[in-house]
Chains A and B, each alone.
Chain A
Amino acid sequence: MMEAVQIRHRHLLDLEDWSASEIESLWRTTDAMVEVMQRKVKKVPALQGLTIVTLFFENSTRTRLSFERAAKAQSAEVLNFAAGGSSLSKGESLKDTLKAIDAMQADLYVVRHGVAGTPHQLSRWTDAAIVNAGDGRRAHPTQALLDGYTFRQGFRGFDGFRGKRLVIVGDVMHSRVARSNIGLWTKLGAEVVLCGPRTLLPTELGHWPGVQRCFRLEEAVEGAHAVMALRMQRERMQSGLFPSLSEYQARYQLTAKVMEHAHPDALVMHPGPMNRDVEIEGVLADSPRSVIEQQVANGVPVRMAVLYSLLVGRAR
């Protein structure tokens, strides 16, 4: 069994520089946080006196709430900054906005931004810790951590990621969730198969070690241990990336019938929000194979572990 290690990162910008043993240590901390969230009193004093600011330049109520719950369950103060209706719309630069909020003594920022690399840029302008809650198409590390954790927790007789196969179905091109999961699962020794219309599967991702592309769903799912459907956004149709929603459904909708090709214990995942009966069959989403609800539930303890790991043991 792997020894727990200290997590020495100042920020969580992406998982590229996190080692497999750091990720496993974070998941062990998550195990402890899961127990905290099962108590009658779902609150511990660990982060008392610290201030966490959520900086969301792109809407995502769900992710923001999950971080807020994770912070409050450890007694941190939480301030929410939403870009709409703020000084940014009055012409203030990103740097000046950050400086203004910094003056209010934040210890950690949770950042969501439509432009890739924004959290990295912010980390150069502040002494506070930064957690990337999604930047452009680039990365969404806490989502990948909770997806991986859900698999580790939910796959029957789980004995590690080596030799496991994850299939990601849908609009991989526009998905930071897909990119972060590809990085995480391959780092831990799993194989990743990307499946969807050719126009939505970037060629370069197929060249990553441990990653393959496949354009036929039944073939992609063959023997898979986890299958993740991505949300199909209606805008993509207008941009001509695939002919029609009904054709997409016919070829790539994840159904109970398709899942018959997968490993008998395979799990069905979806990062949400899901379009029922578009990218995933409604009955499959509600079936015992589906861990979609667990993914949402695990979001809080995983983020608790992230906040704990970045904020505790920082004194010099």
Chain B
Amino acid sequence: MELRWKKRLMDEGEINRAVNRMAHEIIERSDRLEGVVLVGIHTRGIPMAEHLSKLIKHYEGVELPVGKLDITLYRDDLTEIGVQPIVRRTEVPVDIHDRELVLCDDVLYTGRTARAALDALMDLGRPSLIRLAVLVDRGHRELPIQADYVGRAIQTSRSEVIKVRFHSTDGQEGVDLLERGS
């Protein structure tokens, strides 16, 4: 599939400001910040969760644990697709039973990844509350799912692709809009 670059949506500074704002919102909305666990969805939800954890520690002095969640085994299209997704190890370092979780991902689109993540988390325990944080909400939901913390909401068409890059996963940072070639 050929992808054509269209425009830059967020540069490094804009990502930082958005994540900063989300960190403040998480601090404000949590009744007991010490009990919150950040869970990043593989791959780019993880650097986002780590970024949030670092900022929250900076502002409040509380270090929130960061978990890594792989949702591959919970996808609803595994027997329908022609490629084999790589399964990565889920590593959630704390017992999530009765904890408040913030699920982190880079892009919210159809909502199917978030649905799979909710099922995966339920198999790990029974959290008291789960909220969803995304850097970009691009619309086109196929399931009744919404984010609680949004870095930037962007109107897109289905033929467009959002590419998020973080230093730790991609060696550079930015959000770009691409178009699928015909």
Contact = CB atoms under 8 A, between A and B. Distances in A.
A312 to B, nearest CB: 5
A40 interface: yes
A45 B125 CA distance: 16
A1 to B, nearest CB: 14
B84 A39 contact: no
Interface of A is mostly: loop
A6 B86 CA distance: 8
Contacts of A41: 123-124
A311 interface: yes
B73 A74 contact: yes
Contacts of B80: 315
Contacts of B90: 32, 35-36
Contacts, number: 72
A308 interface: yes
A314 B82 CA distance: 5
A28 B83 CA distance: 17
Contacts of B70: 32
B85 A313 contact: yes
A36 B82 contact: no
Interface residues of A, number: 33
Interface in A290-316: 305, 308-309, 311-316
B166 interface: no
A50 interface: yes
B11 interface: no
A49 interface: yes
B78 interface: yes
Contacts of B78: 46-47, 312-313
Contacts of A36: 73, 90
Given A45-B73, A312-B79, A29 B119 contact: no
Contact of B86 (A28, A34, A40, A316): A28
B73 A46 contact: yes
B84 A312 contact: yes
A34 B125 CA distance: 18
Interface string A29-66: 10111111001110111111110000000000000000
20 contacts: A32-B89, A34-B89, A39-B124, A40-B123, A40-B125, A41-B124, A45-B73, A46-B72, A46-B74, A46-B78, A47-B78, A50-B79, A305-B87, A312-B78, A312-B81, A312-B84, A312-B85, A313-B82, A313-B84, A315-B79
Interface of B: 70, 72-75, 78-91, 119-120, 123-125
